[in-house]
């Protein structure tokens, strides 16, 4: 039976692992956005959401560890594939032509290594800012919790954070635009009949995710955190 290391070394194994981790990260992104949008719910919705997560205790640590492994494995495979291709063809082709059907070679697909590395660096900064950032403590329904809502609002009133976050979310959209299709086709779903449909769904999904995420910092910045969509 092939080992995990064997899978990392084989082309088929790496494609499958890329697909599995890619789909896992897509699911995480959906739920993360839904959680973030609770900022526009009731006055205490966002803090209660984050408190519920933190209350999971050991389960949360396991989920975070699994997520970290998925991120790092996805990044490692992506970088290693890019590096091996670069070594095999350092100068590239003068003209690219695909075989066997429409090509999905776009600027988004060709920049996956760049957008992926930026997103990985952003993730570290994002975790440091919000997960480990200093916050006031509030009491809600008898439970003491971090006032992460106030931290988010205060952070995104800083232009560097607001527009920097927005720029990275645009790159996230580019990464997802090709990554969605790539993840599912890596799991043997590449079929002429469905490939174009999956690609189109991926583009729509990427736009929705990017707009959903970047709306938050821009809305907070331009309303000074006092917009009608934010309840206090």
pLDDT tens, N- to C-terminus, the chain (232 residues): 456 665 566 777 777 888 899 999 999 999 999 999 999 999 999 999 999 999 998 999 999 999 999 999 998 888 888 887 777 765 554 444 444 455 556 766 778 889 999 999 999 999 999 999 999 999 988 889 999 999 999 999 999 999 999 999 999 999 998 888 888 887 766 666 777 888 899 999 999 999 999 999 999 999 999 999 999 8
What are the phi and psi torsion angles at 146 (to 5°)? -70, 140
10 three-class SS: coil
Distance (Å, whole) CA 67 – CA 49: 19
Burial profile 103-120: b = 16 or more Cβ within 10 angstroms, e = fewer: ebeeebbeebbebbebbe
Residue 173 CB-density burial (10 A; 0-12 exposed, 13-18 middle, 19+ buried): buried
Question: Rounded distance, CA 138 to CA 51, Å?
Answer: 11
Widest CA span of the chain, in angstroms?
66
Contact between 108 and 175 under an 8 Å Cβ cutoff? The reply is yes
Global pTM? 0.86
What pLDDT score was predicted for residue 185?
81
Distance CA 188, CA 103 (A): 17
Cite the DSSP H helix spans in the chain.
4-9, 11-36, 45-54, 58-88, 107-110, 112-126, 148-155, 159-184, 192-223
- Count of positions (residues) in the chain: 232
The full set of domains in the chain, from first to last, is: 4-89+106-223 (1.20.1300.10)
Cβ neighbourhood burial of 59 (10 Å; 0-12, 13-18, 19+): exposed
119-137 confidence digits (pLDDT tens): 999 999 999 999 999 999 9
């Amino acid at each position: 039976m092939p080992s995990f290391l064997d899978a990392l070394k084989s082309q088929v194994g790496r494609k499958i692992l890329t697909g599995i981790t890619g789909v896992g990260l897509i699911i995480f992104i959906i739920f993360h956005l839904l959680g973030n949008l609770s900022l526009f719910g009731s006055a205490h919705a966002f803090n209660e959401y984050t408190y519920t997560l933190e209350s999971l205790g050991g389960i949360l640590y396991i989920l975070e560890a699994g997520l970290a492994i998925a991120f790092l494995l996805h990044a490692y495979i992506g970088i290693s594939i890019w590096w091996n291709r670069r070594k095999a063809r350092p100068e590239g082709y003068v003209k690219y032509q695909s075989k066997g059907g429409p090509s999905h070679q776009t600027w988004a697909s060709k920049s996956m290594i760049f957008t992926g590395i930026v997103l990985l660096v952003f993730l570290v900064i994002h975790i440091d800012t919000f997960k480990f950032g200093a916050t006031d403590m509030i009491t809600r329904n008898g439970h003491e919790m971090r006032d992460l809502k106030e931290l988010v609002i205060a952070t995104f009133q800083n232009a560097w954070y607001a527009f920097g976050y927005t720029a990275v979310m645009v790159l996230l959209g580019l990464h997802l635009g090709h990554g969605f299709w790539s993840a599912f086709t890596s799991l043997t779903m590449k079929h002429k009949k469905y490939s174009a449909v999956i690609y189109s769904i991926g583009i729509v999904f990427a736009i929705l995710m990017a707009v959903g995420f970047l709306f938050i910092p821009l809305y907070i910045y331009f309303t000074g955190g006092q917009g009608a969509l934010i309840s206090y």
